[in-house]
Structure 1
Amino acid sequence: MRIALVGPAFPYKGGGARHTTELAHRLAAAGHEVVLESWKAQYPGFLYPGQQTIDVPEGELFPATYRRLSWRRPDGWYRAGRRLRAYDLVVFAVLSSVQVPAYLGILRGLGSRAKAVALCHNVLPHEPKPYDGPLMRALLRRVGTVLTHTPEQGALAESLTDAEVRVAELPMHLPASGGQEGRGGGGGLLFFGIVRPYKGLDVLLRALPEGVRLTVAGEFWAGLDETRELIASLGIGDRVDLRPGYLPAEEIPGLLRAADALVLPYRSATASQNVLMAFEHGTPVVATRVGGFPAQVRDGIDGVLADPDDPVGLRAAIEKLLADPDGFRARVERPDPEPVWAAYLAALTA
């Protein structure tokens, strides 16, 4: 099959770009002829307050990658669609409704000549704006198939479109790093990634047990000063190591292996590879009962679950894990990504 992926790739950073690139590699390895249509300018700066690009690629680049799309050139969207008419399947990686106008322009250029799939990392944003619903509805009604990563997201997509909606678990897509190495642990708790309100860092800070250390590593899109003020007001500044700024993929394995637990105190979630990344490095997880976390964490075995937005319950969950960190670590099983990827490719290309 001739397949075109449309989405971010290097020099854009983060999980979305890594996923698109890994997906291209996997499809090509499965025998498909694949191109990746990416961006030379994806968003205006004011729509993405963090660092958009990086200088060094995180993982192997996909050879047939073309960086021709630009938010500044709507005329190029239609031309891209015309180019992609020769493909049997066109897959749009949907990470934000900001991408929708460009994707609609490409779809107009495609016409009805190619089968189109919207691969939705989030059907709607965690912190939605009034325009998000209408934009996503317009996109999802123009494609033949929608692929989501959780049943809840699938149901949300079904509320916006009559197109076929499929659900497949999000596979791991971080560059290979050698897996579990040694026993690890002893470094306290870890919170990493882009810091946004829905991820509940403030809840974790209020829940931090006495004497326990916490490392917070990642970009703050907003609220860094407020976070520092909260840490000071709670009197935990000597136990919280704030490392604001983009966290390169190469640094993640070391942080995970050093941690007693990865903590995911999210108020809401869709799909995330963070649990699988922690397990890849032998690190147990404390997470809230949102999104895909309850299906990934075996409560009381390789991690502990807590209710969202509940500092008291989250503290109890952390204390339960830290009462036997070696036991929880010993029960962590390294995930096998291959069956998940096989099911994912099957759902995408069926």
Structure 2
Amino acid sequence: SPNGQSLAYVKDNNVYYRAVILSTSEISLTTDGVPGVIYNGAPDWVYEEEVFGTDSTLWFSADGSHLAMASFDDTDVKEFSYHMYGDPHDPEFQYPEEYKLRYPKVNTTNPTVHLRVMNLADTTKWHELPAPEITVSADHILGTVNWIGNDLGAIWMNRRQNSATYQRCNVETQVCKQMVAVNEQNGWYVLYTPRCTKSGDRCFFLGNANGWQRIWELSGEDTITYKSPEKYTVTSINGYDESKDNLYYTAVPASAPQTRHVYRNGDCLTCSLKDKFSNNAPCNYASISFSTDFSYFAATCSGPTPSYTQIYRTENFLWRIGKT
């Protein structure tokens, strides 16, 4: 959990919980897991590889009081057979073994996905947060999940992935409200988990705007404001410093597509970065990571000189620590 007090983990496709990390007492939060068929807290093959890009679908709330879980039912997903040849020097693998994997293809059944949340004060009951089928149909995909203050946010898409809705759910009442809907008639919706403030009053999204991937802010009732300029392709949101209202992101300008730099509220933060160990050669390809309070950042330059990392104080851009 974020507070470092408790632990949730998956074993044999079921979710277990320890209220105290070092305790040997574990609580089974699910019991219906079946390896290869029913997945709780961990994605099946298609969701791991094509949607979430991770092997975990468990999300603690910031204070550790609630746990959200995505589960996947592959019962109706068709099986794909393949051979495992093993080590050619091992006598046990003189003949290949046949393995089966539930693998959905075009026009076949996808896994059935469920999003649930539990108040960990009562570990006997999960609450379902249903997909908005009226918007994304019964054949839908769960795209991303994130906590927004004490609420849970989720992006649901139709199977074609050209229609998506971002829902904000009250985990106590299980009532969900659509924050924004996106329709891409000439393509598909590219998934990015939104960045929201701790209170959940403001959220930042990445999305297409007239052919450019831009950051837009969702604030209040259906109020959208673009936070990055036109003719820039934003590749990632690096962070948001609430105390100073500074939004950091990585972007590629149309005028210099061979470069990649980090920006703060539209101003380039790394364009002046120079390699102090290579005759002050300019950096053309930068990435960045921040300390927890945004007081320092580590800037990595990956070209054209050999890669190097330098640490700076954010306030005055003073170089603090040497190259690694």
Higher Rg: 2
Higher strand share: 2
TM-score over 0.5 for the pair: no
With normalisation by structure 2, the TM-score equals 0.28
Higher helix share: 1
Bigger relative contact order, structure 1 or 2, given CA contacts below 8 A and separation 6+? 1
